[in-house]
Structure 1
Amino acid sequence: MATIAENVHGVREQIWRAAEKSGRDPQSITLIAVSKAVPPERLAECLRVRLNIFGENRLQEAQAKINGLAQYPKIHWHFIGHLQTNKVGKAVSLFEMLQSVDGAHLLDKINEQAQRFGKIQSVLLEINLAGEASKTGLRPDQLPEFLAEADRWPNVRLCGLMAIPPWHEDRERSRPFFAELRKLSLAMSRYERANVKLTELSMGMSHDFTVAIEEGATMVRIGTLIFGARQ
């Protein structure tokens, strides 16, 4: 069985190849280790190979890991799950970035809590590209009106977009959705202001991240290829 260090090396090689294939700088792509249900001691193995960005989707589990790894400096924690409004305060206190923001009311709460903690909270807006009822997220046509309101959230920095395409075994079936998210981001450039700079595209997971990189992903969220399958 491969070690976590070997798995991370393998993922980085795939990132490098996909970036070179599409004429991109591999250093422009951030690898996020999706660490849900992974114990702190296994995350420490990632830290030993300089992988220090983790994505969590459960607040209580994340807090235990953050406390358990407090002796390690410069760990970056991203929240990647559905965020309920009653959990916003805890999320803002724990996470550097919230990757799954899907509504104005939620952003009102995030802005309020960020003011309370004296921070500027980085967020990504989740886009539901296929209109799937099983997923949260803004419709693409809602984004312009949403960004036009950004001045009401001075303690929030809108850093980019996130999307998860419909699952399919053939990773090429994800490509049109990744391309659409990139085009949507570019089309929104006219809304740029102090707290709106949509430079990040978080898209692509273990089965399709190389395609996402070819279509412009700046962040990829990898769990299974690093830690193995989880229950």
Structure 2
Amino acid sequence: MTHEQQLLKERLERIEKRIEAACIRSGRNRNDVKIIAVTKYVDGDTIGDLLEIGVKNIGENRVQDALPKHERWGQRGIWHFIGHLQTNKVKEVIGRFTYVHSLDRLSLAEEINKRGQALNIVVPCFLQVNISGEETKFGLSPNDVLAFLRETSNMKHIRIAGLMTMAPHVEDPEEARPVFKGLREWMERINEEQFPHAEITELSMGMSNDFEVAIEEGATYIRLGSVLVKPD
């Protein structure tokens, strides 16, 4: 094991302890929470090191930065596109990335569906919901979620596997709790509607500064950048 891999392994072990404690506090099974390593600020070598120490999920934000990394490591791990996705970049993402975490508008859904049809695949997507209502954040307004799901229900090459949100960056992670709780409540509400293309089982929420609170509120994917891949 290289020195870099050892450092990453030690960070991962510290994160593991925090995840396990959050699961115990909230009565959850540790196996229900998956780490996505957010690798937008690191090079391809670091992605290789992460995969080597057992990280399975890789999250990238920008298409142009992600493509050379995917070219090198795409056959290993599960790749998540977690950034804002422009419609003209869909053809470069679908077929490479297993999950898209940022479905937030009808034009994007139509383009993903079209690309999925061309490749004869069904694309698992996370609906991005702007629970906090911040103007600086992407995502559907909660008031538009059900209408959006009705409008996309005939798209055969999209499956809404989960919901995603970004909480405000706050000093006290407790302040983010209502946002995570709100996303979980929306999952329950959507599932009550029984949309054929939206049987939601995943919640992508929580980052380096607030992932423990997100786990306590039901996160199944936590997106970890600085706490995992940046030097101490």
TM-score (norm 2): 0.93
Q: What's 1:113 paired with? A: 115
Gap runs ≥5 in structure 1: none
CA distance in 2, matches of 1:52, 1:17: 21
1:1-231 matches, within 5 Å, as: 3-70=7-74, 73-228=75-230
CA distance in 2, matches of 1:191, 1:154: 18
CA distance in 1, matches of 2:8, 2:231: 13
CA distance in 1, matches of 2:226, 2:185: 28
Deviations 1:13-58 (A, max 9, x none): 2111101110000000111000102111111221122102110011
**What is the SS of the residue equivalent to 1:149?**
helix
Contact 1:150 1:196 in 2 (8 A): no
CA distance in 2, matches of 1:80, 1:39: 17
Question: What's the Cα RMSD here?
Answer: 1.6
CA distance in 2, matches of 1:150, 1:190: 17
Contact 1:34 1:223 in 2 (8 A): yes
CA distance in 1, matches of 2:225, 2:129: 21
Contact 2:207 2:222 in 1 (8 A): yes
Gap runs ≥5 in structure 2: none
Q: How many residues align?
A: 228
CA distance in 2, matches of 1:28, 1:93: 26
Contact 2:103 2:128 in 1 (8 A): yes
CA distance in 2, matches of 1:137, 1:42: 30
Deviation of the 1:194 alpha carbon: 3.7
**What is the SS of the residue equivalent to 1:78?**
strand
Deviations 1:167-222 (A, max 9, x none): 11110000011111111110111333442111111000000000000011111000
Letter in 1 for 2:194: E
Contact 1:192 1:198 in 2 (8 A): no
Distance verdict in 2 for CA 1:68–1:74, change over 3 Å: closer
With 140-149 and 154-163 compared, the bigger mean Cα shift is at 140-149
Contact 2:149 2:195 in 1 (8 A): no
Deviations 1:80-131 (A, max 9, x none): 1110111111111321000011011110110000111111111001011122
CA distance in 1, matches of 2:88, 2:231: 31
Contact 1:85 1:109 in 2 (8 A): yes
* Identity percentage of aligned residues: 36
Deviation of the 1:66 alpha carbon: 1.3
